Structures are given as structure tokens and as C-alpha cells.
Structure 1
Amino acid sequence: MRAVTADRFRARYDAATADIDPPLAIVDRAAFDANAAQLRARSGGRPIRVASKSVRCVALLRRALAQPGFAGLLCYSLAEALYLVDAGVTEDAVVGYPTVDRAALRALAADERARAAITIMVDDPAQLDLVTAALGPRHPEIRVCLEMDASWRPVGGAHVGVRRSPVRTPRQVVALARQVLARPGFTLVGLMAYEAQIAGLGDAARGRPLRSAALRWMQRRSMAELSERRAAVVAAVRAVAELEFVNGGGTGSLERTAGDESVTELAAGSGLLGPTLFDGYRAFQPRPAALFALPVVRRPARGVVTVFGGGYPASGVAHRDRLPVPVLPAGLRLTGTEGAGEVQTPLTGPATRQLRVGDRVWFRHAKAGELAERFAEFHLVVGDRVVGTVPTYRGSGHCFG
């Protein structure tokens, strides 16, 4: 962010939150809406299912779903899906991960409205066994989506991507589909394939041209292989069952996944808030919509200031790119010895000269959604005003894991 632009945003955010003591978190509503429009433009006309884990705030999920081109939620737990359906946020929630939450399964079985709205994820017959064990052999109809492995296996035992579903070939997925169809109390309605090695890896990392070129090479070949395999899987499953939807993609791969004719809908969530892990993509540049402010509490040495709190690392492999980044004022950086600390975070850089005790430093989080686990509320900023304050899941008293 250029210094002049950074100064303008800092002045605006400081003015908007002048009467609110930090630590605090904001969502820039104009940036959020602009990011939604960008996602829609990249979707090729496919509807976008909002990944709730990347938002974790009912008001923002409602705002996203009110935008043209967005339909339904991709939830990360069954308990969360039950909560959002009960709150009237959606009547179409796919749980993106298998559930072994027996209490949530019993709640699902007991609620006719929830059963019509919620689809659980399955990639192993053992998950069906668990549902039946929890609910009994005569349980009501449960909607089921199959997940196929979307990773790339170029040679031998090489695996490029995340470790999700164990089924990847048409034969394997159809065998699983037949298991669902053969068991009473289950209705097969969907198929999902999430290509994390394409959607979740930036292909234009600053200062790393060779790594970026290698990633683009991998992603081109992986997408070509997946498109062919996914089409074959979808055709094979449709031969034995009617599917309401085939879901694919993520924020980082919308335009690529939209080119796969076998996919009927896309998924995205991180692109709405624009965290730092999505700074390194050639195809798009989301605007930073979610930020948090920490107050300066110490000036321990020349060229160093210390802010209160800040130890908000993102999930994933524990690299430096998982740490929050100080962005306003421009010209600050974490130290190599303390990083982002549990109760204090020292910062160095030329901007320390202008900071005094009581000033605030604005940070961006590495991953979308996880910031909501640290703050009970988001202050919605328009221009230089806070136009509303909305609870996160945490602020509503919920923790879904």
C-alpha cells in the first residue's frame, strides 16, 4: 500500500473508531461489497455458495447472500449449519466436512425444516454407519453430498493438494454413491471437489518469481487433469443418481473452475474479506475489507513501539506468512525475535517515529474468518463513520470448532 493511500485509509479508520477503545476489528463495507462484485465477475455466471468459515458473522453472511450471484452456504460444521438455518440466514446449507457430532445429528433428524435445508458430506461408508448408529436404523431422510479427491498425483506416490476425500476415480465414487442409495434414510443430492492446490495457493508471490512460475505450471496441469477426471466422475454418478448440484472451486480458482462444464456452482468466502494470504494472485486482487487495530502502549527503545496483544496467527503450516501484518501506518514490521505476541507485539520500522502511546496500529489477518474467533464484534465502516456494530459467532456465544 503506497504511503499516501495508507495515510488516507488510516485517517479514515482512526476517525471512524475514535470513540471506540482498541483492540477492535472493523469491516470496510465498501471493500466487502466491491470484493463480492469481483467474485461475481470471475464466476462465469455460476452461482457462488458462500464459505461460512471465511466469514463467521451472521450479518456479513446475510449481506453476501443478498448480493446478486450468491446462493446458499458451505458450512464447516453441522452445528453451525443448524444455527444458521434456525436463524433464517439460509434454506440451503451444505456441510463441507464429514460430521461425527451425534448431538447435532440428532438435532438434524428431529427438525423437518433443517433436514430439508441441510446436506451433510460423506466420503466413506463409515460416516454413514455413524449416522445410523447415532439415529437408529429407521431415521428420517438425510441429504448427502459426496466429496471426491481433487488433488493432483502426477507420478508415483506424489500428492499435490490437501488430504481430504479418499475417493477419486469414477469407479470409487460410484461405489460410494451406490452405498448411499442402498441404505434407507439417505438421499444423494450432490457432489463436491475442492481443488485446494489451485484455489488456495497464490501464483504471484512477491519476490519469489521462480516459485510463482512453478506454481502456475503445476496449477495448469492440475486443473487440466481434474477437469477431465471430474467430468468423468460426474457423468458416472449421474448415471446412477440425480444430482442437484456439483460444487467446486474457491476464491483463488473461480474463473478456472467456472470453465469446467461439469460444475454447476462455485464456492468462495475468503475473497469477501481479502486477507493477506490472497495478496499473491495474478487473476485478482481483493481489497482489504477486514482489519483490526491495536493500541501503542510502550516505546521501549528508539525505533521500536509495542502494541497491546496481537498474537493472532492463522491456521496452517507455521510460517511467517501466517502472522498478522501491520499495514497502517505504512512502514512497520514485526520483529524476528517476538513476532506477534500473546499480550504484546513490538514493531520496528520508520513509521515508529510518528507513533505515540495511545495511537493505534492497523493490522490485517492472514486468513479470512479466523479473525472472528478473536473479536466479539465487527464495526462496520463506511467512509469515516461506523454505521453499525455486529456480533461475530464468538460475540453471539458460539464456537463451532
Structure 2
Amino acid sequence: MKKYKRAFETLERPFAWLDLDALDANITTLSLQTKDKRVRIATKSVRSVEVLRYLEEHVPYMCGYMTYSAAETDYLAQQGLNHFLIGYPVYETESVRNLCKWIKKGKDITFMIDALAQAGWLHQIAKEQEVKVNVCIDLNLSIKTPIVYFGTRRSSITTIDDASLLIDQLQAMSSLEIVGVMGYEAQLAGVQNQPKNKAKGLMIQQLQQQTKEKVTKLRKQMVALVKQKVGDLQFVNGGGTGSLAFTANNKEVTEVTIGSGFYAPSIFDFHKSVKLESAAGFALRVTRKPTSDTIVCHGGGYIASGISEQREPTILSAGLTYYPTEGAGEVQTPLKVSTKEHYEIGDTVYFRHVKAGELCEHFKALHLVRSEKYKGAFNTYRGDGQCFL
């Protein structure tokens, strides 16, 4: 990691970094895959207002944000941002009341719905606040077979009949207006399809190929149904970093969502369809050397959520591996040093998080580098004193 040594030489460890050259390269790579589709940025994978503003300036066809909580959406509205699709159902009264006030002031905010209970609750608050609220229907594009459930267990809308009933229920609520449809093909966008286990990778790739036709057909049918009952929609959202090329070819989709791909966390190292540059990570100080082939870093236990084969941070610095009996520790991380490398107390070891936005929950700032030169820092949500989930 020689290119970072000079730029970050005077910083206290640990710190998180953002490589602007790599970020720009990822923006270009991902934008080429989106074709003429509008782009919505997934804030959960960014978690920094300043980075969001940077992306808004540099991402072509950028149309808004997919947020992950009502409180976060309220905060971003306070920062002057606009055009929000809350990507998940929310059920927090005061935060939603605040969003209703923003809607009255002209902010574009859409809520996610997949069940009558969510809609009825939101309808009551909208009536109380005397405002009409936009909603988006979340379609479940997962594929269920006798052998495997391929996708995510989230939306309850899995059939045309499910969608038809919910639309009728929503249209009976005068304070709600259906403006969009989302269908997230998680089994294509976020599943590692080129893991170290080649047999597993081949099986996943075959499942993904089989599911593409089913996803395309189901989403097209559901969008046609919604348009038949409701009329024209403001948007049809789909995709994620790992499925951009596929989703952009679906004519009924008007916008795609991108998040993790900007930082390119290590979960995408094993994804066949996208090749990105490492744009974000963190650095730890070596503070112990108990043996000639062992060093100990201060910190490092930033374990990723989910069921990825690797949830520990990926080591970027050369010749280092985790000890299987210890792994990444809460306040210190022992690493085994190969015979070809040499580390001493005081040295720096660089890592990447497996997930994108989760990195920002551990650090107050992302320190910037461009062309091996230090370019200041962007605050994370944590640096702004915010924590939403």
C-alpha cells in the first residue's frame, strides 16, 4: 500500500480512507452498465452526506436517493437533499410525522409498502397531518423451488393476485397515492457467484441464469397490472450493483439503484458480473510483535452482517493472514506474517470491509486520497453524530 503511505503518514490510527481515483473509476464502470436508466443512490451503502453530495455531482442520470429509515430521511432532508425513496417499510410515528412536514414544504418523499398493516398506519398519519403521501409497492422477485428459496425474504407480494389485492386496498385510502414499483432481484444483485468453492459458484451461476427469465416475466406482469389499475407511474425501480447490466435491459424498469459498488467492498471480489476498484477501507497500527512471524494490530473487529463466506475484513497489506483460532479481534487483531514479508511495531496494515456502508459506522470520517496526495476528509454519519440502524 505504498500509494497511501505518504498521503496518510501523519494521521492517527485507526482511520478509514476513501480513494477518490478508485471512486471515480467505479462511477464510470457502473454508469456504463446502467445505459440510459436513471440512477438512485442507496444511502445505506454510503452513510456520508459529503460523499452523497460528491456522487450527486459525478453520477450521470442521478435521480435521487434510496434511504433506509425515516429518521435518516429526515436528517438528509435537513441537509438540503431531496428525492427520497425509503427502501424499507417504516413504522416510527414521530419520524414519519416529520417527513409529512417536509412533504408539505415540497420535498419528494416516497414510502415503501407491501402489506395492508403498513399502509393503514401510514394513511392515518397522513390524514392527521393533512398531507397526501406517495407510496411504492415492493414486489418479491425471489424464486421458490422445492429445493431452495433463491432470493430474500422481505416483501409479501409474490403473485399477481397479491399485488392486485394490495392495489385495491391502497386505492381505497385517500391520503395515499401509488407512484412507483420496486422489484429487487437480490439473488442476482448481491449473491457472490464466483466464490472460492468452484462447484458452489457453478451452482449459483446456473440458478441465476434460470431465475433471470422468471424475474423478467414476473416484474413485467406486475408492472403492467399496476399501470392498468393506477395509470402511469413515476418510476419502476430495480437492480443493484451486481445486476445492473441485466436490470438495465428490462424495458419496464426506469431506474436502477447503486450503492455498494461505489466503495467496492470485498464482497464483490467474488462476483462475476462486475469488476471494480477498492475505493474504501481502514488502517490499523501494529503495536505488538510477540514472535518473528506474528504481529498484532490495535483494533480490527469490524465484522460484516449477513452470511457471506468471509465476514472478517479483507487484508490489503501483503503477506498477512488471520489466525483461524482468533480472527479479527474487538480491540486487537493478531496476524501471521509470511516469510517473504517483514513488519515492525509502528507499521500500518490496510484492510477493506466486507460490506460498504458498515465501514462508516466505525469511523467519524473518511480520509481522502487522490494521486497519492491527502485531500482532507469527509464526515460519516457517525462523524455528524448520527446513528440510524
TM-score clears 0.5: yes
Residue matched to 1:4: none
Distance 2:21 2:296 in 1: 31
1:86 corresponds, among 78, 88, 92, to: 78
Map 1:253-332 onto structure 2 (within 5 A).
253-317=243-307, 320-328=309-317, 330-332=318-320
Letter matched to residue 116 of structure 2 = P
Q: Secondary structure, in 3 states, of the residue corresponding to 1:239?
A: helix
Distance 2:220 2:107 in 1: 27
Cα contact 2:242–2:271 (8 A) shared by 1: yes
Residue matched to 1:173: 163
Asked if 1:14 is matched to 2:5, the reply is yes
Deviation at 1:112, TM superposition (A): 3.3
Cα contact 1:325–1:333 (8 A) shared by 2: no
Residue matched to 1:127: 118
Residue matched to 1:111: 102
Deviation at 1:116, TM superposition (A): 3.6
Deviation at 1:181, TM superposition (A): 1.5
1:223 corresponds, among 212, 221, 224, to: 212
Cα contact 2:104–2:131 (8 A) shared by 1: no
Deviation at 1:71, TM superposition (A): 2.1
Cα contact 1:303–1:349 (8 A) shared by 2: yes
Distance 1:230 1:351 in 2: 54
User: Per-residue displacement from partner, 1:180-233 (whole Å, max 9, x unpaired)?
Assistant: 11102111110001111110012222x322111111110111111010011000
Letter matched to residue 105 of structure 1 = V
Letter matched to residue 223 of structure 2 = V
Deviation at 1:158, TM superposition (A): 4.2
Distance 1:325 1:40 in 2: 26
Deviation at 1:86, TM superposition (A): 2.2
User: Per-residue displacement from partner, 1:36-85 (whole Å, max 9, x unpaired)?
Assistant: 11111111221121111000011111111212132211111111112112
Distance 2:187 2:102 in 1: 37
User: Per-residue displacement from partner, 1:297-318 (whole Å, max 9, x unpaired)?
Assistant: 000122100000000001112x
User: Per-residue displacement from partner, 1:239-287 (whole Å, max 9, x unpaired)?
Assistant: 0113110000100000011121111111111000010000112222110
Residue matched to 1:210: 199
Map 1:1-400 onto structure 2 (within 5 A).
10-67=1-58, 68-89=60-81, 91-112=82-103, 116-134=107-125, 136=127, 139-155=130-146, 158-205=148-195, 207-241=196-230, 242-317=232-307, 320-328=309-317, 330-350=318-338, 353-400=341-388
User: Per-residue displacement from partner, 1:137-178 (whole Å, max 9, x unpaired)?
Assistant: 5641111001010101234x8421111101122221122122
Cα contact 1:303–1:353 (8 A) shared by 2: no
In structure 1, list runs of 5 or more residues that go unmatched.
Answer: 1-9
Distance 2:33 2:27 in 1: 10
Deviation at 1:373, TM superposition (A): 0.1
Distance 1:44 1:304 in 2: 48
Distance 1:14 1:23 in 2: 14
TM-align CA RMSD: 1.6
Deviation at 1:382, TM superposition (A): 0.6
Cα contact 2:126–2:133 (8 A) shared by 1: no
Distance 2:105 2:212 in 1: 35
Cα contact 1:115–1:141 (8 A) shared by 2: no
Matched-pair identity in %: 36
Cα contact 1:294–1:362 (8 A) shared by 2: yes
Distance 2:22 2:166 in 1: 42
Residue matched to 1:3: none
TM-score scaled to structure 2, two decimals?
Answer: 0.96
TM-score scaled to structure 1, two decimals?
Answer: 0.93
Deviation at 1:117, TM superposition (A): 1.1
Distance 1:352 1:19 in 2: 27
In structure 2, list runs of 5 or more residues that go unmatched.
Answer: none
Stretches (4+) displaced over 3 A: 112-116, 132-139
Distance 1:352 1:369 in 2: 34
The 1:114/1:167 distance shift into structure 2, 3 A limit, reads farther
Letter matched to residue 74 of structure 2 = L
Q: Secondary structure, in 3 states, of the residue corresponding to 1:347?
A: strand
Deviation at 1:114, TM superposition (A): 6.0
Q: Secondary structure, in 3 states, of the residue corresponding to 1:322?
A: coil
Deviation at 1:133, TM superposition (A): 4.4
Cα contact 1:143–1:188 (8 A) shared by 2: yes
